[in-house]
A and B are shown apart, each in its own frame.
Chain A
Amino acid sequence: DAEITQSPRHKITETGRQVTLACHQTWNHNNMFWYRQDLGHGLRLIHYSYGVQDTNKGEVSDGYSVSRSNTEDLPLTLESAASSQTSVYFCASSGGARESGVPEDTQYFGPGTRLTVL
């Protein structure tokens, strides 16, 4: 069954370390997104991609990078982790409705990664 997965589900790291969070979808969606979710802020867009080799900055992109080498994966890298990057990270994809009457760009979310930076 097609799905979107994230790994790891939980991660504890230290300040200054490089961390990569994986996102993999099997819906063949062109569009993929990374969000962080914090109390009081809701979902904030970090980076997004509309296809292979395409990447774009969102509203909170500083300290993060992404690369898109194939349709299925959009890994998120924290170059030098900071305590302010402690958060829950969600990956999402869009580009094909999974039910009738639903717009093509409806975003479907992965289960999330809880990242703690000490």
Chain B
Amino acid sequence: GQNIDQPTEMTATEGAIVQINCTYQTSGFNGLFWYQQHAGEAPTFLSYNVLDGLEEKGRFSSFLSRSKGYSYLLLKELQMKDSASYLCAVRDGRDDKIIFGKGTRLHILP
């Protein structure tokens, strides 16, 4: 079967660091995406991992371990504008379809 798990909600403080985890079980694996979605807006692409390790892009980093079926998104120096939902999406290696998790709603406190 295909399953992607993320925490439903998280809360963090402005200026801090937060890690959003994603675990997945798919028939195959051919890449993992992270998207950001502000309330009432469209999802926007953040990062992509296909090999094990860390991809850094400014304040955001994404990590992948294929053997563990695990990824995380790390947000540093949190800003109020980072309050959003973060969607993990996996490309199934069997048919290349992209499957989205339900998303993690991140609340930033001042």
Residues of A at the B interface (CB closer than 8 Å) are: 35, 40-43, 45, 90, 101-103, 105-112
Size class of the B contact interface (CB-based, 8 Å): 10 to 19
B58 to chain A, nearest CB (A): 13
B33 partner, pick from A106, A110, A111, A112, beta carbons under 8 A:
A106
Residues A110 and B100 in contact, CB atoms below 8 Å apart: no
Once A42-B87, A43-B87, A103-B31 are accepted as A-B contacts, the answer to whether A109 and B101 lie under 8 Å apart by CB is no
Q: How many A-B residue pairs have CB under 8 A?
A: 37
Residues of B at the A interface (CB closer than 8 Å) are: 31, 33, 41-45, 48, 50, 87, 91, 96-98, 100-103
Q: Which residues of B contact A111 (CB under 8 A)?
A: 41-42
Residues A109 and B48 in contact, CB atoms below 8 Å apart: no
Question: What is the CA–CA distance of A13 and B67 in the complex, to the nearest angstrom?
Answer: 48
B57 to chain A, nearest CB (A): 9
**Interface SS of B by simple majority:** loop
Once A40-B102, A42-B87, A105-B96 are accepted as A-B contacts, the answer to whether A112 and B48 lie under 8 Å apart by CB is no
Q: Which residues of B contact A107 (CB under 8 A)?
A: 45, 98
**Interface SS of A by simple majority:** loop
Residues A102 and B45 in contact, CB atoms below 8 Å apart: yes
Q: Which residues of B contact A103 (CB under 8 A)?
A: 31, 48, 50
Q: Which residues of B contact A108 (CB under 8 A)?
A: 45
B41 to chain A, nearest CB (A): 7
Q: Which residues of A contact B31 (CB under 8 A)?
A: 103
Most chain B CB within a 10 A radius of its CB, from A43, A45, A90, A111: A43
* Apart from the given pairs A42-B87, A107-B45, A112-B41, 5 other A-B contacts in the complex at a CB distance below 8 Å: A43-B43, A103-B48, A106-B48, A111-B42, A112-B42
